[in-house]
Structure 1
Amino acid sequence: MLTTIKDSIVACMATYPDRFDVLERSARSISGQLDHLFIYVNETLDGFPDLTSLKNVTILNGAEHEGNISANGKVYPLNLLSNCLVFTIDDDFIYPSNYVSKIKFIFKICKNNCCVAVHGSILPPELEWYFDRTHVFAARDSLLRAELVNLAGSGTFAFHQSTLNTNFSDFQPDVQVDLIFSSLARQRGLPIWSPSRPKDWLIPLRPDGLMQDMKKEVTYHTYEARKLDWSFSVYRDIATKALQKNGRPMSEIYSDLNLSQALISALGTGRTPANWQTSRKNFLARRNYLRLLSPKGPTSHNEYGSQI
């Protein structure tokens, strides 16, 4: 019988049979940093790896719960948690040994008034297509200084339930975990920080085929994302108000968070930083979007790149 877990550090993962061959490596890389790890298994348990040596892991057989719900499986355990620091993670990353401690330190600095996404993106203000980005801070890439983002990658996302209290029903019926988490953070006035890190701090074990498949059509994500204003001015206001709750001089907080100088300047002046401005990536993405709308259908060559 499942019981509520309180005041703990918990990670939630979803998996399916095509990832079973890399799942153990991923789970083992992070389980020792946690109080508890939930793994929601889609489709079937046939061929599932032996994780019995990981004593703090709960396996949720989808067939006994909500069935095959894809990435939404990583938010299914939220109803079982109370006042926890929650990490949503993917089954195809190797997480570094200091992953939890580094992100936990950010929450300490911000007094839980934030979210964190190692893989974070910036959507442009005038959004036409969900896969249009002004910049992507990819999980495996180095980042010398922390940055502010408006779209989180849920395989590297963290939040505290004291400031972002959400449950499984908030993510129904479609699969759009990244977008919903990002929208909820915005509603709660929580900035999303992408932390500084060395190259290959996180190591992907598989390419994200699902995301690449989604780029071949205009999905429901686009229509939902169009409803919001993704401008820097909106997120500057969110970040400034959240940091002011800390009660310390802004300069000290900026230093503790290791924010980039360009971002610090933009937070002060209100001028849109370069990472939030339209770039060549946007034009390439918009060209692909127009090709999707053409009678000939999508191009077979993805010129926007492999990262979301």
Structure 2
Amino acid sequence: MRLAAFGSDRRAQLRLSTLPRIGGLASIPSRADDIAVVLSRIVPQVERLYLFLHGYTEVPAAARHPRVVPILAPPDTPYRASGKFYGLKQQTMPCLYFCFDDDILYPDDYVQRMTAGILRYGGKALVGIHGTDYPGPGTRYTRDRRGFHFRRRLSFDRLVDELGCGTLAFASTLIDVDPRRWPYGDMDDLMLAIEAQRQGIPRIAISRRRHSLMPIHEAQPDSLWVRTVADDSRQSAQLAELHQLLGRSRTPAAAPVVPPTASWPAAPGR
């Protein structure tokens, strides 16, 4: 599949370029010491940032900003990392939506570069920095993969199977994303890849220079990736569904897991 097939005309680019830039970030209390520096990098780049504070008992001082909409979510909510999509359901008008993580240092021109990626494909693709391919019908989520890490150089845009949601951007009108329909709220990269493939939406890792983004920490004991490496059985079951959607497997995927019944926390007043 050629990337040129997703090219854009000038009219579509102009329309998209006028949309507001809205961000979504999910954080956990163990990253509270880093949230100030992360917010200092990204808040100036967006018109509004929805900050999903999973397990926090109070709003951090750094989040008390007119552009930040903090959401205190209880520890038992099933929406952890996927809380970064909370803001999509709060926006009543189209926007360009940017997802962030609480342990990455983003450059000052990050939103600008991601916007250029959205415009390059006319808003018809999810674009991101951190990408993963799952070549062949491999069955293990953590083993049978080829990754394109966000801190590494990528010379050319390329189609990938999965994008990391911490370095993701898209036009809000492109895809219907609602983690309340997902069986899990702690594996948003894979669940979004499945959702996008069902809707026929390509995922594109865009070109970048080396070290354009840098991790603050990696492999923290409470990170989702560390937990996945220890036991990737749930993710591997979902990977079978992605393989089936991609036409790479003759083995039927497992029956879908019933989504949790919990709802989003109430939206704060503005």
TM-score range relative to shorter protein: 0.7 to 0.9
Q: Is the 8 A contact 2:84 2:99 kept in 1?
A: yes
Aligned equivalent of 1:16: 28
Aligned equivalent of 1:200: 211
Residues 35 and 132 from structure 1, CA distance in 2 versus in 1: closer, same or farther, beyond 3 angstroms? same
TM-score by length of 1: 0.67
State the SS of the aligned residue for 1:26: helix
Matches within 5 A, 1:1-308: 7-46=19-58, 48-52=60-64, 54-63=65-74, 67=77, 69-81=79-91, 82-209=93-220, 210=223, 211-229=225-243
Q: Is the 8 A contact 2:162 2:189 kept in 1?
A: yes
Q: Percent identity?
A: 21
Measured after TM superposition, the shift of residue 62 of structure 1 is 0.8
- For residues 209 and 71 of structure 2, the distance between their equivalents in structure 1, rounded to whole angstroms, comes to 34
- The structure whose Rg is larger is 1
Residues 29 and 133 from structure 1, CA distance in 2 versus in 1: closer, same or farther, beyond 3 angstroms? farther
AA matched with 1:217: D
Residues 162 and 47 from structure 1, CA distance in 2 versus in 1: closer, same or farther, beyond 3 angstroms? closer
Aligned equivalent of 2:262: none
State the SS of the aligned residue for 1:116: strand
AA matched with 1:75: F
State the SS of the aligned residue for 1:225: helix
Measured after TM superposition, the shift of residue 188 of structure 1 is 2.2
Q: Is the 8 A contact 1:113 1:163 kept in 2?
A: yes
Measured after TM superposition, the shift of residue 228 of structure 1 is 2.8
More helix by share: 1
Deviations 1:71-100 (A, max 9, x none): 122122321124221111101111111111
- For residues 72 and 66 of structure 1, the distance between their equivalents in structure 2, rounded to whole angstroms, comes to 14
Q: Is the 8 A contact 2:114 2:128 kept in 1?
A: no
- For residues 239 and 126 of structure 2, the distance between their equivalents in structure 1, rounded to whole angstroms, comes to 19
- For residues 56 and 215 of structure 1, the distance between their equivalents in structure 2, rounded to whole angstroms, comes to 36
Measured after TM superposition, the shift of residue 125 of structure 1 is 2.4
- For residues 134 and 235 of structure 2, the distance between their equivalents in structure 1, rounded to whole angstroms, comes to 12
Measured after TM superposition, the shift of residue 69 of structure 1 is 3.3
Measured after TM superposition, the shift of residue 221 of structure 1 is 1.2
AA matched with 1:142: R
Structure 1 outlier segments of 4+, above 6 Å: 230-234
Q: Is the 8 A contact 1:120 1:194 kept in 2?
A: yes
Deviations 1:92-129 (A, max 9, x none): 11111111111111221211100112011111221211
- For residues 62 and 187 of structure 2, the distance between their equivalents in structure 1, rounded to whole angstroms, comes to 30
Residues 213 and 74 from structure 1, CA distance in 2 versus in 1: closer, same or farther, beyond 3 angstroms? same
Aligned residues: 227
AA matched with 1:115: L
AA matched with 1:226: A
AA matched with 1:218: D
- For residues 182 and 101 of structure 2, the distance between their equivalents in structure 1, rounded to whole angstroms, comes to 17
Q: Is the 8 A contact 1:125 1:231 kept in 2?
A: no
User: Unaligned regions of 5+ residues in structure 2, if any?
Assistant: 1-18, 249-270
TM-score by length of 2: 0.76
Q: Is the 8 A contact 1:17 1:47 kept in 2?
A: no
- For residues 231 and 183 of structure 1, the distance between their equivalents in structure 2, rounded to whole angstroms, comes to 8
State the SS of the aligned residue for 2:45: coil
Root-mean-square deviation (CA), in Å?
Answer: 2.5
Aligned equivalent of 1:265: none
Q: Is the 8 A contact 1:116 1:195 kept in 2?
A: yes
- For residues 118 and 22 of structure 1, the distance between their equivalents in structure 2, rounded to whole angstroms, comes to 21
Q: Is the 8 A contact 2:153 2:209 kept in 1?
A: yes
User: Unaligned regions of 5+ residues in structure 1, if any?
Assistant: 1-6, 235-308
